[in-house]
Amino acid sequence: MGLTRNRLYIFLGLSCFAGYIWLFVNYKYSEREIAACLFRHVTGVPCPSCGSTRSVLYFFNGEFFSSLYSNPLGLIVAAIMLLAPFWIAFDLVSKRDSLFRFYKNTEKVFQKSWVAIPAILLIIGNWIWNIIKAV
Residues near another protein (CB under 8 A) = 1-3, 15, 19, 22, 36-41, 47-50, 52, 73, 76-77, 80, 103, 106-107, 110-111, 123
Task: Calculate the CA 7 to chain-centre distance.
Answer: 19
Nearer to another protein, 39 or 90 (CB): 39
Q: Shortest distance, CB of residue 74 to another protein, whole angstroms?
A: 9
Nearer to another protein, 45 or 89 (CB): 45
Whole-angstrom Cα distance, residue 32 to residue 29?
6
* Closest C-alpha among 44, 20, 22, 48 to residue 34: 22
CB atoms within 10 A of CB 128: 10
Nearer to another protein, 2 or 44 (CB): 2
Q: Shortest distance, CB of residue 2 to another protein, whole angstroms?
A: 6
Whole-angstrom Cα distance, residue 71 to residue 65?
10
Nearer to another protein, 94 or 111 (CB): 111
